[in-house]
Structure 1
Amino acid sequence: MATQTTSPGQRFVDRRDAGRRLAALIDRSVSGERVVLALPRGGVPVGFDVARALGAPLDVLVVRKLGVPGHEELAMGAIASGGVRVLNDDVLLLAGVRDEDLAEVTERERHELERREREYRGDRPPVSVTGRHAIVVDDGLATGATMRAAVTALRMRGPASITVAVPVGSQEALRAMREIADDVVCVMAPYWFRAVGEWYDDFGATEDDEVRTLLAQAAPPRQKPQAARVTSSDPLATLIARHAHPWRGETADFAPLAPLVRTARVVLIGESTHGTHEHYAERVRLTKWLIEEHGFTDVAAEADWPDAWRVHRFVRGEEEDADAEAALGDFERFPRWMWRNLVMRDFVSWLRAHDDALRPEDRVGFYGLDLYSLHRSMDAVVRYLDRVDRDAAARARDRYACFDAFGDDPQRYGYATGVRGADTCEAEVVEQLRELQARATTGARVGPFAADDRFFAEQNARLARNAEAYYRSMYRGAISSWNLRDRHMGETLDALLEHLSRRRGREARIVVWAHNSHLGDARATHMGWTGELNLGQLARERYGDRALLIGQTTHHGTVSAASDWGGEVERKRVRPGLEGSYEALLSSALGDGVGRALLVLRGGGELTQALRPQRLERAIGVIYRPESERRSHYFGARLADQFDVVLHLDETRALEPLDRIAGWDEEDAPETYPTGL
């Protein structure tokens, strides 16, 4: 809860006066160790008196922006004290930043960051923040851009909480900080805010010598001892093992889930990687049980809508593909192995056989929730209208021709409109969706398949509208584009439930497949703390307890992933979970003898409470970089608030793609890795 006093008539004598007044507002009752991190230079005199009042160590938190080469004002990421690097993958992709260019900019800024840290700190090591309550201090907030980068980077170092503390700030910047910090403390938040220095009698520049002197005079940094690996004798590991339900591949595995799914309308099943065989196989096993034993009617996945529609038509007997592998043929873009793999091929074959035994109106469908298929979806709209209304098809072609100037790559459209200021196609895609929606309310309804075809076309038009906004937003920041993408998935899920319930004449119930980062409630992770939302959060907000969130974790093994976006799939060795992570904790509790177990976290019992404190959690997408795993793949999370159920599979193996390159069978990643991760 934010603490704030607005008294614009009372100025600060200087930064030391501001620090003393700020310290008086900070809650002293917080249990646990605290550390004060000041943004140099001006934040250090303020932080000195805050640290002295709290009896806490003081350190600097240096932040350096990583600018796109040639467009340095455009941030592709930031680095901060503690070896943390935060990247904006959307900007990297759309700006076409090469790995060597990113490495060059990072190295240059890292040298400058290290130079400043040596200048300020000397030989003293940085203060550890892991498990501590971090208080980030500056002399004021105008736009808050530097503080946002600092908080985002700091989250990756695993603090118990983050408090942003400033003497004065603009109301807009403070509102933004409340979205990403656990607490915000401010002495003054004037309505008319022009500049930080206007609220100080003395706002002279803070020199490096003053920074060094204050850091030397501050309480000596007490290093938190390195946490020992949790063992099975640890009380927390013992508690987890006592509450764990073994997962043996038997029918009895599902018993703990039965009470939770009886009333569920959506069951969302995640994965901690996009390339683990067991994640896919156990998700399929769960899905078959939900369909056969609990009446779930459909499956929706983190896949493109038109590509999944071909699978949908095949499993329902409406497509002439010879087999399941052919039905997966529209999954052509990177990363193909996410859906063109052996587990998916076998599941699609099973679903076809299952549906063949049912009446057409009872058959289970397969749908895509994602929005990357801008051009394919526009083509699908035009093809549908060609069949039903040639004049409407001509209007659609005219509207969608707006994109012709940008070629077939939607990233070029995003770059041109988001950076170069080219005219957008927003009005065209919005108008096309409106026309299709109007047609849906007035057109004739002839049979369930006709309604499905119309719904398919309308969803493609909705996807085109949302994808246009998504690609255009990429250069406004990763949070904006991520939120647009997950809101689209939420809209598509809602539309599916409404359409399928109407068509079936009974309530539709859907199993959702996606990565943990989409399905675990964002509010319990660093995503939510930095302003992002996701499908799991939206499902809980919309459906309450009728949304069941199931996450999957793994500790070590192999994974199918690329080294760079657009690269070939490789079989890589997964490093054991880092010390202090949920993966390491669950492995220590379950790895010896149990190996695979289900944890039911919904209900608020002692297991829920034990897994509520923040720890590191790993996420491997379609790219895996074990050489920089700490920076690239870990984030802070509260597991018990993130998921209702967790399935831990201690050792796992790589998902086998249908389209393998030479050498996939070889384990390219070494047994050991460079330090400094």
Structure 2
Amino acid sequence: MAVRIFRDRAEAGRDLADRLGAFAGRSDVVVLALPRGGVPVAAEVARALGAPLDVFVVRKLGVPGYEELAMGAIATGDVRVLNEGIVASLQIPPYIIEAVAAQEHEELLRRERLYRGGRPPTEVRGRTVILVDDGLATGATMQAAVEAVRQRKPGQIVVAVPTASRDTADRLRRLADTVVCVVLPKPFQAVGASYKDFAQTRDDEVRDLLKRAEGPADPAFVVAERQAAKPEAADFTGTDLAATDLSSLESAIVPLRGDARDYDPLLALIGEARFVLLGEASHGTQEFYRERAEITARLIREKGVTAVAIEADWPDAWRVNRYVRGDSDDLDAVEALGGFRRFPTWMWRNTEMVDFVEWLRSHNQTLAPGVPRVGLYGIDLYSLHASMKAVLRCLDRLDPGAAEAARARYACFDRFGESGQVYGFMTGLKGVGSCQEPAMAQLLALQRRTRDTLAWVCSTDREELFNAAQNARVVQSAEAYYRTMFLEEESSWNLRDRHMAESLESLIAHLSGQGSPAKVAVWAHNSHLGDARATEMSERGELNLGQLMRERYGRAVYSIGFTTYAGTVTAASDWDAPAERKRVRAARPGSHEALFHALGAGRFLLPLTPGSPQADLLRPARLERAIGVIYRPDTERRSHYFRACLPDQFDAILHFDETRAVTPLEYTAGWESGEVPETYPVGL
């Protein structure tokens, strides 16, 4: 029998309402939606039942350092629920709980204001409460919501969802009075698998649905509210700015002419910042790699930067680190980059990266004895199995007893094979346990024992012990990342960027322990380094590395975004597909890139100093393009654009109007031939 697939959340809500007919027309019923995905479903339920609709905001209280592990939750109406088992087993002190709760309370209040305005929460005492979400995977948020609503003394609690894991539904039946579910897929894969359209629900959609549920509104007010919430750029061919404003922007740019002093103004702007974040608008543009390398070389020579942290897996980058520091047997940079064999290989195995790695090694060879050598480090988390092997190799050499204990812990992963995605999928199925606890236990064991390196192994090999501890951190984070990517809409992104931030923090502490405070250049995509609070990401509850670094270090961080208008890029059409040299379409009207193209300057630096005329002119949100390892021109607006307030996102912009694809070290005839132009065979 075919499994029911809903067209979208609205259709799922109508089907769910049919199952709730017994509650129609009752004055004691109230429908509470879990935002954001639950609101379109609940809106249909409330309309069909003739019941009032409201949101019930729940915020998980994550264990510090392991935020994906919930020690409790807070919810609408100053309700707090604690997982006493987690709190007791981890011996979490009350002041930690209070600190986390205070932080999450701020976000809860923000969402309350955003969704409800000044309205108080709907009274539920003595009433029948129907809690609605778009589906249940682990059910952690719904469980917290049930427990929180229970504290407000309702007459009855009904959990209603279109789709759910059978296991989760059974567990919730022990907590709620009634559980209503349209489909219980077997096997259950993910909530999104029950929908044809499972696009992210936006905050403005939530507000609109809640307003409609209140009753007729003044159409002019609704239009004005939407325009205020998300300014829409005009459909223009180049810019929506007046000629005088364009002239003001033109006077602020610093042309890049290709000479040795091009970046003097940028280094002056960077000043004494300890952390320079160098972005990119794609993972396959030659100019982005080349210019980052040139800027980084000057930061190393002139500003005392001692580390380059890149959006790459730790063990593969560690091999390159050993090469540039003169500690490896690799013959050259091409061989040192040999660890980067996982898709997308071209991201770090490319000709520009070879040149930079060789420069870095040569620079280190010129340093006097005792002067710290510059290292290159990875801060990403995809190397689940490679990092486990690296931990075991290090411990086998330094402490065989600890290696045996680590091998026993990591054996949990053996039954899932080598794929992290398979691990994530399988652990979401009924009766399949995860490896969360052994991964965490190994990280904690290494962290405890490396606090006193000499007492542990009678060795001064501080670098290798740091390498082992970082690999254990990767295993713990990768386990959580793959496990959550099939269960929740957003948490895997946040977990990944938190891991990047934690890895950077560990690196900073490690390097600072060798003398003066560390200075680091960070290479990653604009979407990781530009402050998420200035983009649509924040509306989805997402954060990123750039935001976390600014929150932690303030003005010690200087963030530089890179943009392009058109050209070519190395990218794939699908995950794990071959690299292609693709043509980058001209930037869309209404975008920052189209505006920069209209200036006619080609290549330039644009400082976004707060209070400057150019920062004020660029403050209205516009479209910004982001090309990752996959580029799909046919769905470019949906797949590669988002809205951003550029002066709040970056401290400066480097724009290269026409760019070229980076050259992979290994490429196919398909890459060499490139993409056929749209005008073929008519245009010339």
Q: Quick one: structure 1 residues 533 and 142, their matched pair in 2 at CA, closer, same or farther if it must change by over 3 Å?
A: same
Distance 1:607 1:331 in 2: 40
Could you tell me which of 228, 238, 248 is aligned with 1:230? 238
The aligned runs of 1:115-514 (5 Å cut-off) are: 142-146=33-37, 168-172=54-58, 178-179=110-111, 184-185=116-117, 187-190=119-122, 192=124, 194-195=129-130, 227-230=235-238, 234-358=243-367, 359=369, 361-444=371-454, 450-503=461-514, 505-514=515-524
Worse-matched range after superposition: 475-484 or 341-350:
475-484
Amino acid at match of 1:339: W
Q: Deviations over 1:317-369 (max 9, x none)?
A: 00010100000000010000000000000111111111111136421000000
Amino acid at match of 1:490: A
What's the counterpart of residue 654 of structure 1? 661
Residue 477 (structure 1) shift: 2.2
Q: Deviations over 1:434-472 (max 9, x none)?
A: 211122123317999700000000000111111111111
Distance 1:615 1:381 in 2: 45
Instruction: Check conservation: 2:238, 2:597, Cα contact below 8 A.
Output: no
Distance 1:342 1:620 in 2: 20
Instruction: Check conservation: 1:168, 1:187, Cα contact below 8 A.
Output: no
Instruction: Find the residue that maps to 1:378 and give its secondary structure.
Output: helix
What's the counterpart of residue 614 of structure 1? 621
Q: Which runs of 5+ in 1 are unaligned?
A: 1-68, 81-108, 113-138, 151-165, 200-210
Residue 79 (structure 1) shift: 9.1
Q: Would you say how many aligned residue pairs link Structure 1 and Structure 2?
A: 515
Distance 1:602 1:226 in 2: 26
Worse-matched range after superposition: 325-334 or 260-269:
260-269
Instruction: Check conservation: 1:559, 1:571, Cα contact below 8 A.
Output: yes
Q: Deviations over 1:223-249 (max 9, x none)?
A: 999633235973332222111111122
Instruction: Check conservation: 1:169, 1:186, Cα contact below 8 A.
Output: no
Residue 552 (structure 1) shift: 0.1
Instruction: Check conservation: 2:284, 2:571, Cα contact below 8 A.
Output: yes
Q: Quick one: structure 1 residues 180 and 525, their matched pair in 2 at CA, closer, same or farther if it must change by over 3 Å?
A: farther
What's the counterpart of residue 631 of structure 1? 638
Worse-matched range after superposition: 140-149 or 638-647:
140-149
Distance 2:4 2:318 in 1: 40
Instruction: Find the residue that maps to 1:252 and give its secondary structure.
Output: coil
Distance 1:294 1:607 in 2: 27
Amino acid at match of 1:617: E
Distance 1:352 1:307 in 2: 17
Instruction: Find the residue that maps to 1:300 and give its secondary structure.
Output: strand
Worse-matched range after superposition: 443-452 or 319-328:
443-452
Instruction: Check conservation: 1:167, 1:187, Cα contact below 8 A.
Output: no
Q: Quick one: structure 1 residues 454 and 248, their matched pair in 2 at CA, closer, same or farther if it must change by over 3 Å?
A: same
Instruction: Check conservation: 1:299, 1:512, Cα contact below 8 A.
Output: yes
Q: Do residues 598 (structure 1) and 605 (structure 2) align? A: yes
Q: Deviations over 1:134-181 (max 9, x none)?
A: xxxxx975223447789xxxxxxxxxxxxxxx9743354877694599
What's the counterpart of residue 18 of structure 1? none
Distance 2:460 2:254 in 1: 43
Q: Which runs of 5+ in 2 are unaligned?
A: 15-29, 42-51, 59-74, 77-106, 133-153, 156-211
Could you tell me which of 514, 522, 534 is aligned with 1:524? 534
Residue 662 (structure 1) shift: 1.3
Q: Quick one: structure 1 residues 78 and 564, their matched pair in 2 at CA, closer, same or farther if it must change by over 3 Å?
A: farther
Instruction: Check conservation: 1:171, 1:190, Cα contact below 8 A.
Output: no
What's the counterpart of residue 671 of structure 2? 664
- What's the % identity of the aligned pairs? 49
Distance 1:541 1:314 in 2: 34
Q: Quick one: structure 1 residues 550 and 403, their matched pair in 2 at CA, closer, same or farther if it must change by over 3 Å?
A: same
Q: Quick one: structure 1 residues 448 and 522, their matched pair in 2 at CA, closer, same or farther if it must change by over 3 Å?
A: farther
Distance 1:383 1:314 in 2: 19
Distance 1:608 1:233 in 2: 15
Distance 1:427 1:293 in 2: 45
Q: Quick one: structure 1 residues 279 and 653, their matched pair in 2 at CA, closer, same or farther if it must change by over 3 Å?
A: same
Instruction: Find the residue that maps to 1:572 and give its secondary structure.
Output: strand
Amino acid at match of 1:335: P
Q: Deviations over 1:537-579 (max 9, x none)?
A: 0110111000011000000000000000000000000001101
Instruction: Check conservation: 1:617, 1:637, Cα contact below 8 A.
Output: yes
Instruction: Check conservation: 2:272, 2:303, Cα contact below 8 A.
Output: no
Residue 370 (structure 1) shift: 0.2
Amino acid at match of 2:346: W
Could you tell me which of 550, 553, 560 is aligned with 2:563? 553
Amino acid at match of 2:512: S
Instruction: Find the residue that maps to 1:604 and give its secondary structure.
Output: coil
Instruction: Check conservation: 1:559, 1:572, Cα contact below 8 A.
Output: yes
Q: Quick one: structure 1 residues 443 and 255, their matched pair in 2 at CA, closer, same or farther if it must change by over 3 Å?
A: closer
Q: Deviations over 1:466-500 (max 9, x none)?
A: 11111111123241000110000000111111101
Residue 261 (structure 1) shift: 2.4
TM-score (norm 1): 0.70
Worse-matched range after superposition: 614-623 or 447-456:
447-456
Instruction: Check conservation: 1:182, 1:529, Cα contact below 8 A.
Output: no
Q: Quick one: structure 1 residues 363 and 179, their matched pair in 2 at CA, closer, same or farther if it must change by over 3 Å?
A: farther
What's the counterpart of residue 150 of structure 2? none
Instruction: Check conservation: 1:269, 1:512, Cα contact below 8 A.
Output: yes
Instruction: Find the residue that maps to 1:187 and give its secondary structure.
Output: coil
Distance 1:660 1:492 in 2: 32
Q: Quick one: structure 1 residues 398 and 640, their matched pair in 2 at CA, closer, same or farther if it must change by over 3 Å?
A: same
Instruction: Find the residue that maps to 2:672 and give its secondary structure.
Output: coil
What's the counterpart of residue 53 of structure 1? none
Residue 528 (structure 1) shift: 1.3
Q: Deviations over 1:575-601 (max 9, x none)?
A: 011011111111112xx2x20111111
Residue 256 (structure 1) shift: 2.2
Distance 2:124 2:298 in 1: 60
Q: Quick one: structure 1 residues 579 and 264, their matched pair in 2 at CA, closer, same or farther if it must change by over 3 Å?
A: same
TM-score (norm 2): 0.70
